[in-house]
Amino acid sequence: MLYLDRVGRRKLAIYGGIAMAIPHLVMAGLMNRFSSDWASHQAVGWFCVALIYLYVLSYSISYGPLAWVLPAEVFPSPKRAKGVGAATGMIWLANFIIGVVVPEMLLKLGWGTYLFFGIFCVAAAVFSFFLVPETSNKSLEQVAAGFGDELIDEERNLQSRISGEVWHGYGSHAEKEARV
């Protein structure tokens, strides 16, 4: 997880999408060409297995952790808990759908399944290039300000007031009497 801050989340999302697309697209091409006679092309079959490992590695160092880190950083404070909860629900729903749909896709589309997911990974990289902000090495307040969060000043004033009350009491004697 330390590399997320070093490399940067946005850059990792862009390059991770590309790195995940390459194995998919290469496998689509190889399966289109050789799937009718795998017995004569065993080396190609083993190369496809290596491509699957490359995809898993690419996912594990990019979108795997980013899916959990980015939602916690981009939602504004008042909506963060619900936003992260919704993102978590979407992650699990997507995993479930992929687990149910992919076997059927492989039967019906064959190599087209890999083409579909390869294109989807390229689309994720393009989306990340244009719409995902860099959040590494930034405070939550800086990220919120980047999104134009108007609540940031209100939160800062509230924090200032609370810390003043904690460190200096409730203010003047008249304010204390008014609260009683």
Same domain flag for 85 and 157: no
Same domain flag for 46 and 118: yes
b/e 16-31 (16+ beta carbons within 10 angstroms → b): bbbbbbbbbbbbbebb
Query: Does the pTM of the predicted model rise above 0.95?
Result: no
Residue 143 lies in a domain: no
Out of 6-20, 27-41, 55-69, 156-170, pick the least confident. 156-170
What letter would DSSP give residue 138? Answer: -
Q: Domain of 117: which CATH number? A: 1.20.1250.20
Chain length of the chain: 180
Out of 11-20, 23-32, 145-154, pick the least confident. 145-154
Residue 6 lies in a domain: yes
Query: CA distances (Å), 47 to each of 19, 53, 170, in order?
Result: 16, 10, 70
Same domain flag for 115 and 156: no
Give pLDDT, residue 52: 96
Same domain flag for 89 and 172: no
Same domain flag for 46 and 104: yes
CB-count exposure of residue 174 (10 Å: 0-12, 13-18, 19+): exposed
Report pLDDT digits (tens) over 77-96. Answer: 778 889 999 999 999 999 99
Query: CA distances (Å), 134 to each of 6, 10, 109, 128, 144, in order?
Result: 12, 5, 37, 10, 12
Same domain flag for 130 and 178: no
The first and second tokens of residue 129, run together, are 């290039």
Give pLDDT, residue 103: 96
pLDDT at residue 102 tops 80:
yes
Which range of residues forms the domain containing residue 23? Answer: 2-136
Domain count, the chain: 2
Same domain flag for 107 and 18: yes
Give phi and psi for 29, each to the nearest 5.
-65, -45
> Contact, 129 vs 14, CB < 8 A?
yes
Same domain flag for 89 and 115: yes
> Contact, 18 vs 122, CB < 8 A?
yes
Residue 97 lies in a domain: yes
Mean pLDDT score across all residues of the chain: 85
Give pLDDT, residue 86: 94
**3-class secondary-structure state, position 171:** coil
Residue 86 lies in a domain: yes
> Contact, 67 vs 91, CB < 8 A?
yes
What letter would DSSP give residue 88? Answer: H
Of the candidates 18, 13, 44, the residue with the CA atom closest to the CA atom of residue 121: 18
Residue 88 lies in a domain: yes
pLDDT at residue 171 tops 70:
no
Same domain flag for 73 and 29: yes
- Binned at pLDDT 50, 70 and 90, residue 6 comes out as confident
Same domain flag for 65 and 95: yes
Give pLDDT, residue 22: 98
Residues contacting 18, CB < 8 A, separation 6+: 121, 122, 125
pLDDT, mean of residues 6-35: 94
Give pLDDT, residue 36: 86
